[in-house]
Copies of this chain bind each other. A is one copy, B any other.
Amino acid sequence: MAAKRSGAQNKRSQRKSVSPQAGQALRSEPPLSRERIVATAVELLDAEGVDGLTMRRLADCLGSGAMSLYWHVDNKEEVFDLALDAVLEYRGPPQTAGSQGWRGEVVHMLEDWRASMLRHPWSASLLPRRALGPNILGRLEMLSKTLSRAGVADADLNAAIWSLWNYVMGATITRVSFDLSDEDMAAAQQRLTGLSERYPTIERSRLLLDNDWDGAFRKGLDFLLDGLTPG
């Protein structure tokens, strides 16, 4: 009988043979692989959203049967985890202005983090999962190293990292949640004005409308960084 044991055992073991594509002479598709599955999953998520990804549809897009996916992947959860991390690659700050200092580097990485997730809004709805893939860990490592070099005390380092993480995640989720279409906006406003005697202040401030999300994100980030660093 075949193997197919528990997670990451014999699967993902790379082909040791010399032939680049083994078999599959009649099939036009390249053979399945973790990478191809994840890449296609991201495409599907981008196109159809979180509910549009099913194992059957994913397999269809890959030109394979649904159950074939389970050779490369433990279950649907793992597909989500891999897709989330796949979208969060970070290549570092732009080299053109190399002398922007640690703070510029941190701001750049965090704004890029948020932007990457907003480019794939489904990623925000996957958030409450602890999948710490290599890309997420890489960003945390960069954050940790940069803050440490900037003089943040070791005792405060973890709190500082988590504060920034929290802020970025909250801002991203909120931005996705309220990324309403125009009619939704109108409906929300409608509902609020109907209740203006109950919520006069937020009705008057038009909190749910015309807000500068990007600017507010940057502002709050600055506040946080001001507080987090000794100088």
Assembly stoichiometry (copies): 2
Known A144-B207, A157-B205, A174-B169: A223·B163 in contact at CB below 8 Å: yes
Q: How far is the CA of A223 from the CA of B166 in the complex (A)?
A: 13
Kindly list chain B residues whose C-beta atoms are within 8 Å of the C-beta of A200. Answer: 141
Known A170-B166, A207-B144, A223-B227: A199·B138 in contact at CB below 8 Å: yes
Q: Is the CB of A216 within 8 A of B158?
A: yes
Q: Is the CB of B159 within 8 A of A215?
A: yes
Interface of A is mostly: helix
Kindly list chain B residues whose C-beta atoms are within 8 Å of the C-beta of A183. Answer: none
Q: How far is the CA of A52 from the CA of B194 in the complex (A)?
A: 36
Q: Is the CB of B159 within 8 A of A199?
A: no
Q: Is the CB of B227 within 8 A of A222?
A: yes
Kindly list chain B residues whose C-beta atoms are within 8 Å of the C-beta of A176. Answer: 128
A188 within 8 Å of B by Cβ?
yes
- Nearest B residue to A216 via CB reads B159
- Nearest B residue to A213 via CB reads B162
Can you give 21 contacting A-B residue pairs, CB < 8 Å?
A124-B128, A127-B128, A128-B173, A134-B198, A138-B199, A140-B202, A141-B200, A141-B202, A144-B201, A144-B207, A154-B205, A158-B206, A158-B207, A163-B219, A163-B220, A166-B174, A166-B220, A167-B170, A222-B227, A223-B226, A227-B227
